[in-house]
Amino acid sequence: MKKIPPHTIRSFRKKIFRFYALHKRDLPFRKTTDPYRITVSEIMLQQTQVDRVVPKYLAWIKRWPTWQKLAGATNRDLLTMWSGLGYNRRALMLHRLAQTIVTEYRSKLPEDPEMLKTLPGIGPYTSNAILIFAYNKPLVTIDTNIRRVILHELNLPTSTSVEELLDIAFQLLPKKRSRDWHNALMDYSRLVLPNRIERIPALSKQSKFEGSLRQIRGEIIRQVTKKPFVTLEYVSRLLNRSMADVVKAVEGLEKEKLVTLKRSRIQLT
């Protein structure tokens, strides 16, 4: 693994923290260390831009301020509140997570990263992110933004593997300021690097929304949270999409247990 010289580490930390002191973003989920609120924000932020998340996060916390309150929510209320964030399955996974935390962990989120990764909706990135932002644990996590900062500032090849980046990120980490450090890297990426990172591709590229099955799925969920049901024909006409595409979108939603289809009627599960 690549060894980063101590003077490079010191210089890099100084540069990032200096920027953060002057330009850190004022975000509501940075004003709390409550593990529940951190978890909600991290799951909302998956594949979703911050400016779309902020109002949804504030409304969600107002409606369901604790694991216990969220555990008692209905699917209709969950999906109505989630509408506009996309990837609606995340709302139901967050609900399942709340029920698990309440029934199996006495409403306290585990602090062990390996145990966290066994819970609904939590993978390696989210597990570490929760522990970093809620508990300031000396861990590292790599998203597209942090990856781009490290590659750009250390002039590393874009072919650098995630495993190598995790090792480098741990060398760079100021162990007692993990929370501030990760926030600072994200802000530096979003506010300084956008015009300098064309050469650095994202870890994964999100497919186009307009004209996609995701668009149909999103509209179906929006409709069935407002009405008892909608028909396949209605959705087809509404979006000017083929019946085959609508059926395919519904099949995907059924697999995720979001809706059921009965005699061409689509309704929430």
Residues labelled catalytic: 42
Please give the helix or strand (H or E) that residue 179 lies within, else none. Answer: helix 178-191
Backbone angles phi, psi at 60, to 5 degrees: -60, -50
Whether the Cβ atoms of residue 237 and residue 244 lie closer than 8 Å to each other: no
Can you tell me the distance from the alpha carbon of 47 to that of 267, in angstroms, rounded to the nearest whole number? 26
Q: Which residue has the tokens 């998956």?
A: 46
Can you tell me the distance from the alpha carbon of 225 to that of 178, in angstroms, rounded to the nearest whole number? 40
The DSSP line for 25-60 is ---GGGS---HHHHHHHHHHHTTS-HHHHHHHHHHH
Whether the Cβ atoms of residue 56 and residue 64 lie closer than 8 Å to each other: no
CA torsion 42→44→45→47, rounded to 10°? 130
